[in-house]
Amino acid sequence: STPVASRKSQVATKADLLELFVKPHEVAQKKAEAESLPSITLDEVDLQWVHVLSEGWAAPLKGFMREDEYLQTIHFNCIRQSDGTLVNQSVPIVLAVDDAKKAELEKCAAITLRDEDGKAVAILRKPEFYIHYKEERCARTFGLTDARHPYAEIIYNSGNWLVGGDLEVLERIKYNDGLDNYRLTPRELMEEYEKRGADAVFFFQLRNPVHNGHALLMTSTREELIKRGFKNPVLVVHQIGGKVKGDDVPLKERIMQNQAVLEEGILDPKSTILGIFPSPMLYAGPTEVQWHAKARMNAGCQFYIVGRDPAGMKHPATDEDMYDPWHGKKALMFAPGLESLEILPFRVAAYDTKVGRMAFFDPSRINDFLFISGSKMRKYARDGEIPPDGFMGRKAWQVLVDYYAGLR
């Protein structure tokens, strides 16, 4: 049975939100203070983690992890709270600095965090420095230590020290890339559910374009929830917004493609919210899947769709799957601190040549189905080929064709 300490609902409401922004009437004073403090310059991924922390996706974390939080994360995938409850936190959210910066700042009570342009974005209070055991972090996060793994490479190239501390974020993180209106915070998402009269919220997390097989899964999930008695389930299609590996389709094109799917009516705009999740992608398989689920619970997610090989990639040495493709889903079924989240069944969709559209795979007619993998889809788009009619909406497909034509 579930331990009492883990049993209470972990799905957040607006009352549970933990944003790390400075209060509006204190912004001017804190900005002036920030200019007087020694500073750390954040790289692209560091800034994305400040963004994640600031909006409450990683609640109850109040800043970059201190050593006790970090140790619990890498060893147990969760952090015990003062009241005994376990909160799932499967990936480290840490800030690395080099030896010189550690020596400069270790006696400071507060440090300003600046973006790459030198703008002050946050103040880190009561900093705590501890050794960054990089190989151990990689082994426990990814199950490998190969520096060719895209996020392991970031870790190995970072500083020898980690610094934790409470964050005061001076203002909302913006990228001014034309996509900020899709970067809805947990608070804004909850307000949107209320506006739409949602009585159930389900999420589909992805870092890829949406094909009609995805859409079939999402629409059939909504129908199943209605059969269970819900009147207006709302879907959040949530694209990873942080750093991804080089061969993934860039965020702008993914959002344009997803928007075309809505415009073509393949997904219903009335019951679908398109949003961006600010986290970078770690490619940590079942470990990362728990992070993706926990963060969405902090945005009021009750039901979660998990597909095949979530957060997976090919092993850099062997080109074989790094993780069993179904372990992500299985891990979520048992993950401590995620008991309140219902994992929805995932049915495999493929192109049914008999009816000329995406359909749920029927093993009794195995020869009638064509499986179009992500790599095959990218090859079609790169080569300017047209996939079978009914695989993806035409406008949505054209976005990908135009993107790959631009690369040529």
Q: What share of the chain is helix, strand, coil (3-state, %, to 5)?
A: 40, 20, 40
For residue 147, which phi and psi values (nearest 5 degrees)? Answer: -70, -5
User: What number of residues does the chain have?
Assistant: 408
Question: Residues near 32 by Cβ (< 8 Å), separated by ≥ 6?
Answer: none
Place of tokens 């973006």: 115
Question: Residues near 376 by Cβ (< 8 Å), separated by ≥ 6?
Answer: none
Question: Residues near 245 by Cβ (< 8 Å), separated by ≥ 6?
Answer: 150, 281, 283, 313
Per-residue pLDDT of the chain in tens (408 residues, 90 and over written 9)? 333 333 345 788 888 899 999 999 999 999 999 999 999 999 999 999 999 999 999 999 999 999 999 999 999 999 999 999 999 999 999 999 999 999 999 999 999 999 999 999 999 999 999 999 999 999 999 999 999 999 999 999 999 999 999 999 999 999 999 999 999 999 999 999 999 999 999 999 999 999 999 999 999 999 999 999 999 999 999 999 999 998 889 999 999 999 999 999 999 999 999 999 999 999 999 999 999 999 999 999 999 999 888 999 999 999 999 999 999 999 999 999 999 999 987 888 999 999 999 999 999 999 999 998 777 888 888 888 889 999 999 999 999 999 998 987
Predicted local distance difference test score (pLDDT) of residue 31: 98
Predicted local distance difference test score (pLDDT) of residue 292: 97
Cβ-based burial of 107 (10 A; exposed 0-12, middle 13-18, buried ≥19): exposed
Residue ranges in 173-250 assigned as alpha helix (H): 186-196, 212-227
Predicted local distance difference test score (pLDDT) of residue 181: 98
